[in-house]
Amino acid sequence: MSKESGDLGISVSYSELEAIDQDDIILLIDVDSAINISKECVTDKSANPVDVLSLWFSKLLRAYINKSVCCVRAAKEMCKWFKIEMDSGVEIHKAHIKLLKDALAFITISRSHLLTAGERLIHILAYLLFSLIEFFLGGSDSSEHHLVVDLQIAVLSLVKEITTGSEKVHPLLTPLMQKIMYVGDIERKNIKDVMILVKTSETLTYISLHYMSYVNFKDEQIPEWLKETISYLCEMIHGYLEDLFNKGKLTVTMDSLEDYLKIVQSYYLMLLQIFNNNMTQINDDVATCIMDLIMCEETKLSNYSDNHVHQLISTYVSPYEMDLFKLVYSFDECQKYLTISMQYTPEFDYFDVCIDFITAVSADNSAFLPNTCQTMQKIFEYLFKDATNFIHAERYERVLNAYACFLYLVPDKDIHRYFCAGLFLKDIISSQVCADILMLCFHLKEVNKCWTDKAIQQAAVFWNKCNNSYAMFSTNISQLHVQRFLKYFHRLGKQGLPAMSTQNFRHLSAVAKANAQLGSKLLERLDHISVAVPTKVEIYYEMAALLELLVQQNQTDCSQWFQRTSDMVKKLLSIGKSSIFTSAYFKLLAFGNKSTQLLILRGLDPTTDCTNWHRQKFVAACKFSDDGQLKAFSARHVIGCDELLYKALQQKLGTLDKASIEGLVNVAKSSYTRQSEHNCRGSGLKRKRSIMRPKEILREIYEGTLQLGQCSEDFDASDWDLHKKVMSNLSKIVPGSNFV
């Protein structure tokens, strides 16, 4: 078989091509003629593709490339020839091993000439050589494994070096990187190849970082080669972590576990390099692979019970996963993927990733974006879609710490308003959580000395205004949270008690501690207005309010008042619409001494239709009392349908069957959602007062002046102007006086 050499006109056969000395090849035949001869031999099967490839690596490529002849076409044809060999399904034999050795020798000897020949040729040859590596990895013979590794290292080094001077992404880059990744996927199955895998991944990362500087992420879509690299690195981490356990047992020894996880750490560091390299946008595909990694249970400490494994994961995995999350959480695509996953895959538990998200946002010093605010709200709603996390002490504490630190570190008004508004939700658990988060945030500010006197004063005024928006004897659960904050800021501001007036009963109820002097004043006022059954609604409510306040002043002896007013109270209790007074009365009576309780019980008319909880509770306490007389006189009273509840209250928790309690726990949201919610509408929620008599107006003015005396130092010019008008009006009431 022969082929004309073209310009030289010399007839050369394949056998002669094999026999020609390397130094004479360039003189006797041009590269295209050599390619055509080889191609024809492979086509008509007169020569084995493996032998042809060996000839080119061992002699022909060296000859042409030494003379700076373009060998791109030759490299392309060599790729085709090797594909024919791979598709034939033959097993690895001596010719393949010879080809492997020839290829390694060529890359080593001709390195400098290849670098001069350019990026295009190197990319094609690198693709060919990684195909050769793939072929050997798929075979059963591992005796030449060291040669495969040496060839792979040599090719990676060559590709890395040619990339250094490149200023343009070559079209062949993407298929080459895909081939390298495919080989890496095969190698990962063999734990012995971890170092070559790291070397491979480091080269891919280096190439990506180099070319990222030539990509305008604002105007261009994320390139395929970068997307593929990120996906590959994520899959490698995930694969290693998945392989760490098999059927609950470690697949590596404890002695080698740390080195194993250091490999995982190196992959995280590669990802961090990429996302730290001016990565300003991603697409849905990148978001998916990144979030799948961040959300997988293998990266979560809660997945590991062994202390040693837990410690190593917390050292080599968790910190780097969090660093990665901090870099990607702000991308819309990542947040959408997280929220959609929470919504449509309820079978998975996203608690850990939610806490990590909150932590990542808290640690970020950049601007808090609207989309992140919405995601934070959706995460809160997910965490408390039912009561599961609320009744789990450890999880609940983590939620409180995460959100409270977030509110403390991120001064965003919208998210603060969200949690303030949450206090008034129908969902009483979410309402409680919002209150606990806000209170913990307030304490963090206090500990770190962030509160100013003005801010404390403004907060106290705000929460007092919220407190006053409730009806006088509101049983709305959200008011308890409001009073909690009012009490906190009252203490924080070291404020004195407000004046004792009907306008301040709510305020006093929230902030007043047990105080003998205050108790005496309250009792004195109660004595003054409770000489007879009240005929005016405002007196009725004032009596009830004073009783409620005296309940808090539980050290004040009210026994004489109970004795003096027993007849009046008996008449008042007979009125059907006196439940507010009844509740306050029996609350206070519960703190009375036994003789006082006996006096009231003896005069208490039995009733079968009483539904007042505090009255029934008092009767039940008498029934269970160790005092014989209380027991005897309570026998004629019927508690009603709540008797079982009273008996349960008498039991100690330790006597109850824990298993039976757990079986009764209902975590569904419908089980703790109240029917009504509170809307702060100012005075609209207050009971309208009837027209006041002159004596009552005078008393209100007196009580108001006591309160003003405590805060006159805060008056501004308009306040003093109003003060003059008040004094002027008082002068007109008392002729001849001069108050101004």
Is 719 found in the same domain as 628? no
pLDDT digits (tens, 9 = 90+) for 345-394: 989 999 999 999 999 999 998 889 999 999 999 999 999 999 999 999 99
- Could you tell me if residue 582 is inside a domain? yes
| pLDDT more than 70, % of the chain | 87
Is 702 found in the same domain as 636? no
- Could you tell me if residue 379 is inside a domain? no
| Mean pLDDT lowest among 2-6, 69-73, 158-162, 679-683 | 2-6
**Structure confidence at residue 739 (pLDDT):** 47
**Structure confidence at residue 326 (pLDDT):** 96
Q: What is the number of domains present in the chain?
A: 2
- Cα–Cα distance measured from residue 178 to residue 164, given in angstroms and rounded to the nearest whole number: 20
Q: Which residue, among 186, 180, 187, has the nearest Cα to 207 in the 3D structure?
A: 180
Is 636 found in the same domain as 543? yes
Mutual orientation of helices 307-316 and 318-328 as an angle, nearest 10°? 40
pLDDT digits (tens, 9 = 90+) for 598-636: 999 998 888 766 778 888 889 888 988 888 999 899 888
Is 706 found in the same domain as 590? no
**Structure confidence at residue 578 (pLDDT):** 84
- Could you tell me if residue 337 is inside a domain? no
Residue 449 Rama label (left phi>0; alpha psi -120 to 50; beta): left
- Could you tell me if residue 550 is inside a domain? yes
- Could you tell me if residue 618 is inside a domain? yes
**Structure confidence at residue 646 (pLDDT):** 58
Measured CA to CA in angstroms, residue 602 lies from 568, 572, 612, 632 at distances of 15, 16, 18, 10
pTM above 0.85, yes or no: no
Place of tokens 């609940």: 396
Mean pLDDT of the chain: 87
- Could you tell me if residue 707 is inside a domain? yes
Q: Looking at per-residue confidence, does 410 or 12 come out higher? A: 410
**Structure confidence at residue 225 (pLDDT):** 94
- Range(s) of the domain holding residue 552: 515-641
Is 637 found in the same domain as 534? yes
pLDDT digits (tens, 9 = 90+) for 267-298: 999 999 999 998 989 999 999 999 999 999 99
- Could you tell me if residue 561 is inside a domain? yes
Taken in order 262, 267, 269, 270, the sign of the CA dihedral is: positive
Is 701 found in the same domain as 631? no
**Structure confidence at residue 684 (pLDDT):** 35
Is 627 found in the same domain as 706? no
Is 722 found in the same domain as 621? no
Q: Which of 641, 657, 678 is the last residue of a domain?
A: 641
- Identity at 546, one-letter amino acid code: L
- Could you tell me if residue 718 is inside a domain? yes
